[in-house]
Amino acid sequence: MFSGFAHHFISGGYVGGFGYDGEHGQDFADDANTVEIGLNAEEDILGPIAIRGEAQQFIPLGNDYLAQMQKNRRAYKVGLAFRF
């Protein structure tokens, strides 16, 4: 189990087309802060090599639009780990 704090740098760039309102989109840059909690597991498969899985839940800090978009955001990861 783990927990932590994250500062997200968020940017978007429109390359063409129109939004749902029929207007051209605008590039933007913003940031948001979240607390992250999650579970991870690791299993050795061969010497110093292990397979690792992780599930995270993001909890927004703040009430602005971009922070609230993080409310239902989750991350699932599977990968290989090498221990020195």
Dump pLDDT digits (tens) for 22-67: 777 778 888 888 899 999 999 999 989 999 999 999 888 887 777 7
Domain chopping of the chain, boundaries:
2-82
pLDDT band at 69 (very low <50, low <70, confident <90, very high): confident
Is there a contact between 82 and 48 (Cβ–Cβ < 8 Å)?
A: yes
Quote the pLDDT of residue 11.
Answer: 85
Q: Which residues pair with 78 in a beta bridge?
A: 53
pLDDT band at 78 (very low <50, low <70, confident <90, very high): very high
Strands (E), 47-83: 49-61, 74-82
Burial class (CB in 10 A: 0-12, 13-18, 19+), 58: buried
* 3-state class (DSSP) for residue 60: strand
pTM (2 decimals)?
0.60
